[in-house]
Amino acid sequence: MAERTDCRVFDSPLLQYEDVSPADLIYDDPTRGTSHEVVKLGLGDKGKRWPANIWAHTLMVSIHGACKGNGTANPQASWSVYFGNNSNRNECGLLPDPKHERHTSQSAPLYAAKRAIEIVEDSTFKPLGIETLVIKTHSAYLVESLSRDVWQWEKTNYVNADGETVANRFLVEKLHDMIAESTRENRLEIKFWLVGSDYNQEPIGLANEAFGLPRKYTTQPPTTPLERSLIYFRQNARHDPDAQTLCRRLDISLPVGNRAEFTGITAAVRRLVATGEDRPNNFARLFGPDWDAAVSQEWRDIRYEVLTRPTSQFDGGTDVGASMDKDAPYYRPRLATRAEIKRLRLLDLVMKQPVTVTLGDLLG
């Protein structure tokens, strides 16, 4: 077998001290719902260690893959990705249908690692300056496969020493390619951290929760800007202090988790337009970094509707748009821009209905 490749194995010089445990090396940031590497420990009066210096550029996630009925005719495997205590970023689920993915005690942690990378890649971690992703696990199989064995398997086309195809070949190959591409594209440096199960209890519990989820199998990760923005609005915005303040000011209801009553983003976009708060920074606060590609068309449509019918429930309006404005603290859309006036004229709408413009707009 090829020797271990240290570039994928996380290690900390702090672990050389006998009284330092893996738990001491993780700082749980409750304001962000993320965990980061502790690079320096202080020593309190009673000999208790405390994080004296945090390296916020390293994101620490803990994963687990569980399998009920492993080796039986009807196994069921789950995965979990744990970011921190009570973090809204924590996720768990069941592996895809067995006809698509094997359900075993070895495939489950591989799939969990894949989801960890996907979740981080699809989330809003760039503004945090994350440079390194450390995946903490108690699966020696996972760590050894991705940090040692995979290079030898590449040489043999994933045939092991017994002449058989490597188990979970496609998951291993997928992970290997994801990590290599992330390094090549200078996105994230991805490392694995092998710990004892005693230091990985949170993701273990989270993975077990997945067996009680109402959906049968986990869905594929979001692939479009709209999907990513919907997830951001439903799961992330409520934890952003600026988004919370914005929503309180404008009486926008933020969805909670994945509740079934969520009906979309139109009402929130409409409220921003109706109050004149439809600006890029506010869209980013509610819908994340993909907001432009996700909601710009709906924003434009609502703007035109408001500009060509500048009435609301405040003025006796009774249509659907006006009904969305009934709880607004005020109704004062932004004036039409020159570009909007030009588009409206091209549509021959200005001649038919009033538009909220000023003489300065028309002469400018």
pLDDT digits (tens, 9 = 90+) for 181-238: 999 988 899 999 999 999 999 999 999 999 985 444 444 566 688 888 888 888 888 8
Question: Both tokens of residue 44?
Answer: 């309190």
pLDDT reported for residue 349? 46
Closest CA to 352 of 360, 362, 344: 344
User: Residue 282: which H helix or E strand, with range?
Assistant: helix 280-287
335 exposed, middle or buried (CB, 10 Å; 0-12, 13-18, 19+)? middle
Q: Distance (Å, rounded) from C-alpha 348 to C-alpha 304?
A: 12
Q: Return the DSSP state at 74.
A: S
Per-residue pLDDT band at 178 (split at 50, 70, 90): very high
pLDDT at 225: 86
Contact 252, 246 (CB under 8 A): yes
pLDDT in the model for residue 347: 67
| 86 class by beta-carbon count within 10 Å (0-12 exposed, 13-18 middle, 19+ buried) | exposed
Residue 356 scores a pLDDT above 70: no
pTM, rounded to two decimals: 0.59
Taking only the tens place, the pLDDT of each residue in 141-153 is 999 999 999 999 9
Predicted confidence (pLDDT) at residue 1 exceeds the cutoff of 50? no
Amino acid letter for position 268: A
Q: pLDDT, tens digit, for every residue of 68-121?
A: 999 999 999 999 999 998 888 999 999 988 888 899 999 999 999 999 999 998
- pLDDT for 358: 44
Q: SS3 of 121, please? A: helix
> Which parts of the chain are beta strand (E)?
26-29, 34-43, 49-68, 76-82, 91-94, 132-137, 189-194
Give the per-residue pLDDT at 276.
86
